[in-house]
Chains A and B, each alone.
Chain A
Amino acid sequence: MKLRRVKAIAVKEALQIVRDPRSLMIALLVPLMQMFVFGYGVSLDIRYIPLCVLDHEGSQQSRDLLQRFSASSYFAVRTVAAAERDVARAIDDGICELAVVIPSDFSQRLADAGGTTIQALVDGTDSNTAGIAAGYARTVVAVYSSDIQLETLQRRGGTMQTQTPVGVEARVWFNEELESRNFIVPGIVALVMAIVGAQLTSLTIAREWERGTMELLVSTPVQPMELMLGKLLPYFVVGMVDAGICLGLAVFWFDVPFHGTLATLLFTSSLFLTVVLCIGYLVSVAIRSQVGASQVALLLTMLPTTLLSGFAFPIDQMPAAVQGATFLVSARYYVLILKSVFLKGAGVQELAVPILCLTAYAIVIVVLAARAFRKTLD
C-alpha cells in the first residue's frame, strides 16, 4: 500500500466534497434536524393523559377527588361529561383515554360503609399507555383514600400507627430525574450517526460508476485498500463534525447529564463512525447506482438501529432469537457505550467488552469492503 496514492484519493475526494456545497450542507444539516425530530418525538414518558370525568354526585367529596386528578400533571381533564353517553363518546372518538365515573352515592357510602368504589374506563387501544394511565389513576385514588383514613382516625382521636409497616425507599442511580429523555437522547445520537455515516459513503463508489470515472480509475495501479482508505478519510472528518453536532446537542440542548470524559466519548464515537462509514462503502461497492446504494444504506442502518440497538426498546425484553440478532447490529454496542458514558461516567476499562466488539466489527467490515471491490468492469 502506497501512502501517496491514499493521499491523492483523499485530496481528490475532499476537493469534490468542498465543491459540492449543497451535499455538504445536507450532510451537516440532516443530523441537526434528525436530532431535533427524534429528540422531541421519541419520549417514553406519559404526561397529561386526556381525561373525561363524570360526577353523578357533585358533592364536596367527589369534587375533592376529581380536583386531585386535574391537579396532577399526569392527567388533563378534557371532557366534563353530564351522562354516561358522553363518556362513551369521549372514549370512542379518542378525545379521552381515561374516564373516571363517580357514583351518585359516593359520599353516602363512604360515610356509611367506610368504603366505596369509583369506576375508571380505559381506552386499551394502546395497551402500554392504558396500563400506565390506570396505574396513575390507582395512585391518585390510593393517596386520596389514605388521606381520608388519616382524617377519620384523627377525628376519632385515635393514635393508631399510620405508617405502613414495610415501605420501599427507592433511590434511583444514574438517571436521578427518571427522565426517559436522558437515556433516549444518547441512543438517538447513535441512530443519527448510523444513518448519516452510512449515507455519506454510500454514494462514493456508485458516483464513480455513474459519472464514468471508474473505468479510468481501475486502469491505474491503485489498490482496493488505497482507494477505500482514501475515500473514507474525508468522510471521517465530516462524520466527526456530525458526531460533534449530535453530542453537543445532547449535552447543551437536551441537557442530558454528562458524567464521562470527552476522550472516551471521542474514541468510541470514532470507532463507531468507522464501522458505519465502512458499511456505507460496502453498499456502494456492491450497488452501482447512487439512488439504489443510498436506499439500501438507509435500510441497513435505520431499521436495525431503531428496532434492535436497544436505544428505546430494551433488548432483554426481546424474544431470544431477536436478542441474538441484536449482536449483529453495530449500534447496539455504541448505544450501550453512550448511555454508560453519559449517565454512569464509564471509562474505557468499564466499556472494554462493547469496545472490543465494535473493534472486531470494524475489522470485519473493513476487510469485507476492501475485498468486495474488484478492479474490473465485468
Chain B
Amino acid sequence: MTDAATSPDGQGATVPGSRSPWRAAAAHLGRNRAAMAGLVTLGVLAFLAITVPALSPYPIDDIFWDAIGTGPTLAGGHPFGTDANGRDLFLRTLYAGRISLTVGLAASLVSVLVGVAWGTVSGYFGGVTDSLMMRFVDILYALPFMFFVILLMVYFGRHVVLIFVAIGMVEWLDMARIVRGETLSIKRREFVEAARAMGAPSLWIVARHVVPNVVGPVVVFATLTVPRAILFESFLSFLGLGIQEPMTSWGVLISEGATQMETQPWALVFPATFLAATLFSLNFLGDGLRDALDPRHR
C-alpha cells in the first residue's frame, strides 16, 4: 500500500486502480502460517487418499487370514494394523478418506452455491419473492429427512451419488437462512442505495455489493458444514442407507472402531486422527480465508 507512490509521475507499468483483489487475498492467505499448514495437510490427505488405494497391490477388501485383528506393525506390512476381519486398516482408512472428503466438500459446495444464491436473492428482493422462497425452505426443513432419503433410495436404487444429493439438499437450508439475514442488514446500507441511484440492475448489485459482504459468515459456516456432512454420511451408512461394505468412510470406520475400542484401539485411533486432522485444517483454512477476503483485516 505504500509502494504505490514510488513510481514517478503516474503512468508506470501498472495503472493505479487495477490491483486485483483476488491476488491480494491470495498473497495474504500465503502469509498466514496456520491457514497454509491447513491447506498443505488437506492437500497431502487428498493426495494419499487418491494415490495409495490406486497403487496398492491388493484390493481394500482383501483378507489377511494370518493377521486378523493385529495391531500396527511396520514389519508385518500393516502400519495401521488390521480390523476384526483381517483387512488392512492403512488402505481402508485412506480409501475412506476419498468418500468422506468428497461428501464433505460436495455438501459444502452445494451449501455455498445454492445457499448464497437463494439467501441473497430472497433477502435483497424481499416482499412476495422473499416469502415464497423462505416458505419453500421451511417446507424442506419440515420434511422428515430420513423419509426423503429412503424415498430417493427406493426410486433410484442405492448409489453413492444419491448420498451427495441427499446431504446437499438439506445442508443449503441453514446457509440460505444465514445469508438472507446478513443480506437484510446489508441492503439497508447506503452503498447499496448509491448503487441503485447509479442505475445498476438488481442482480448486478447482489453480485457486486451483497455477495462480497456476506463472505465472512459464509466461509465460517461452510467450514462447519464439512464435519457435519461427514458425520451425517456415517449416520446414513450406519442405518444401511449410505456407503455399503466393502466400501467405507471415516464415519463408518470410527463407529466400527468405537465398538472394539478396548480390544483393538488402533481401529478407532487412526481414522479418528485423520478426521480430526481434516477438521483442524479446515478450521484454520476457513479462518484464514475469511481474513484474507476482508480488506479490513489485511
Are these two chains actual partners, yes or no?
no
